[in-house]
Amino acid sequence: NAGVTQTPKFRILKIGQSMTLQCTQDMNHNYMYWYRQDPGMGLKLIYYSVGAGITDKGEVPNGYNVSRSTTEDFPLRLELAAPSQTSVYFCASRTSGQQYGYTFGSGTRLTVV
């Protein structure tokens, strides 16, 4: 039972480079999310999806993009990386209903230099 799998675990990018953070879940969850976590700031929602083909912006979407072509996959694209995007990124999924919690991946630590 893999749950939510994120790759890579660590990455260093130069300013202006682009990359894709991968996220896959095997629980057939409709809802998927991307969060970033900065020290003392909690988790901030970047983008979310309520099902394949449907995505929407969260609280901090600027500089990012997503797609949801399948139920399982929800990649996060960073275009023109900036130092402000240095953070730990978490992908999460859940089934519908507020009583159900998130299942998180183990995170990607990204540094932009």
Partner 1 sequence: TQLLEQSPQFLSIQEGENLTVYCNSSSVFSSLQWYRQEPGEGPVLLVTVVTGGEVKKLKRLTFQFGDARKDSSLHITAAQPGDTGLYLCAGVPYYGQNFVFGPGTRLSVLP
- Which residues form the interface with partner 1 (CB under 8 A)? 4, 33, 35, 40-45, 48, 58, 90, 92, 98-107
Residue nearer to partner 1 on the CB measure, 43 or 52:
43
Q: In what order do the strands lie in the sheet with 19-25?
A: 4-7, 19-25, 76-78, 64-66
Min dist CB 45 to partner 1, Å, is: 6
Residue nearer to partner 1 on the CB measure, 3 or 17:
3
Min dist CB 2 to partner 1, Å, is: 13
DSSP letters along 1-69, please?
---EEEE-SEEEE-TT--EEEEEEESS--SEEEEEEE-TTS-EEEEEEEEETTEEEE-S--TTEEE--S
Min dist CB 108 to partner 1, Å, is: 11
Residue nearer to partner 1 on the CB measure, 12 or 15:
12
Residue nearer to partner 1 on the CB measure, 65 or 103:
103
Name the nearest CA neighbour of 108 among 85, 90, 93.
90
